[in-house]
Amino acid sequence: MTPGGDGPVRDLIGPGLEILFVDFNPGLRSAALGHHYAGRGNQFWRLLAAANLTSRLLRPEEGALLTGWGIGLTNLVARPTTSPAELSPAELRAGAPRLRRLVAEHRPVLVAYTGKGVYVGAGGRAEAGWGLQPGSLFDGALDAVLPSPSGLVRLPFEEKLRWYREVAAARLTAGGRCRPRSARP
């Protein structure tokens, strides 16, 4: 029951963090390659580019470039699995204190959970809707719940993209801090 960040896929967090994306845990392919969202059918990188959160389509092995856009990546749980359904509620809850520390230390404007279960598991909530949440799990950050970018999730790409675009729009207005930088990778 190791919280995320200490496993085969390390956190990607740099100075000037604006958006922290939080996933359940690494899939087996991501763990084998050591890169976030590396599953063959995963749409995360396409969604970031299509939502204009990055200026181009990145490959999983280029993930470290995200810090230049003020974007960070972490997992709630470090243990790789075939499916997040293999994680117990206790494992998800055990990752919450570490996530709280990351948010307090790096002070992102927005914490974007890539799946309702990630948000529910981290916050002990009963349920969540898509998009910006009315409250925050951790002081000082807006919370957004996004559809999982997994290709196994049967939402159409355009529906997923709608919510990633909402995060991009919130980034531009939240706290007056999230302005596009002049020099992006």
Distance (Å, whole) CA 17 – CA 88:
29
pLDDT band at 172 (very low <50, low <70, confident <90, very high): confident
Q: How many Cβ atoms from other residues are within 10 Å of residue 135's Cβ?
A: 8
| Tokens linked to 160 | 């997923």
Q: Give the dihedral of Cα atoms 56, 180, 38, 110; nearest 10 deg.
A: -160
pLDDT for 80 equals 93
Is 16 in contact with 109 (CB distance < 8 Å)? no
Annotation: CATH topology of 19-175? Uracil-DNA Glycosylase, subunit E (3.40.470)
Q: Bigger pLDDT: 18 or 140?
A: 18
pLDDT band at 182 (very low <50, low <70, confident <90, very high): very low
Q: 12-26, 90-104, 127-141: which range is least confident on average?
A: 127-141
